[in-house]
Amino acid sequence: MQLTNRAKLVDRRPLSLAEKFYVPAIVKGMGITLKHMFQKKVTINYPEETRPFSPVFRGLHILNRDSEGRENCTACGLCAVACPAEAITMEAAERLPGEEHLYREEKYAAKYEINMLRCIFCGLCEEACPKDAIYLTETFAPSNYSRKSFIYGKDNLVIPHPKERPDEYAKAKGLVDERKLKANKTTA
């Protein structure tokens, strides 16, 4: 009994001389190749060319600074609690007198790590953050040979200082603003 009528009978006729020399198969194959030569390419010349990301794409994280260069994160741990992959770990520290130019809040993350091999880029950490501190961008972790290098610390995550590296800060901030804009559009 047939469940569908898509079954095909196998042709078991003896091969002709041309078929024995693969002539019809070669002609058919060349025809397919020729047809594809004149069609629009589906591949692109990566990395010179990149495809536009989907508006909801979520890539690598960044930790935000304010316009004076102070780190926004107050090590409240809400992002770590929200993370379904348990990818985020941190150690909190008290801000000392004289460190007001470094950290915006009285408590800050002395250590902040995200294991990119565990992360599923769900964006829940970004949504949970009450301090405008963590964002996911449109870049992805470059490939590497060691698992350890996928544990991103503050040196990888915190965006450049606006006074020390203004151009890089503006670029990173642009990613944050773009992200906020998209989030507003998708919730509107």
Site residues, ligand SF4 (CB under 6 A):
73-79, 82-85, 87-88, 90, 109, 114, 119-125, 128-129, 131, 133-134
Q: At its nearest, how many Å lie between ligand SF4 and the CB of residue 79?
A: 3
Tokens of 171: 């670029």
Tokens 């470094």, located at residue: 102
- Residue identified by tokens 């991103």 is 152
Identify whether 162 is preceded by a cis peptide bond (ω within 30 of 0). no
To the nearest whole angstrom, how small is the minimum distance from the Cβ of residue 161 to ligand SF4? Answer: 18
Report the C-alpha gap between 116 and 119 in whole angstroms: 5
Minimum Å gap between C-beta 132 and ligand SF4 is: 8
- Smallest distance from ligand SF4 to CB 100, Å: 17
Between 78 and 172, CB nearer to ligand SF4:
78
Cβ distance to ligand SF4 smaller for residue 128 or 141: 128
Residue 135 or residue 169: which is nearer to ligand SF4 going by CB? 135
CA dist 163 and 86 (Å) reads: 34
CB of 60 to ligand SF4, least distance (A): 10
Give the span between the Cα atoms of 3 and 155, in whole angstroms: 60
The smaller minimum CB distance to ligand SF4, of residues 36 and 147, is found at: 147
Residues facing residue 114 across a β-bridge: 88, 152
- Ordered alpha helix ranges (H), 38-134: 78-82, 124-128
3-class SS of residue 30: helix
Nearer to ligand SF4, 31 or 84 (CB): 84
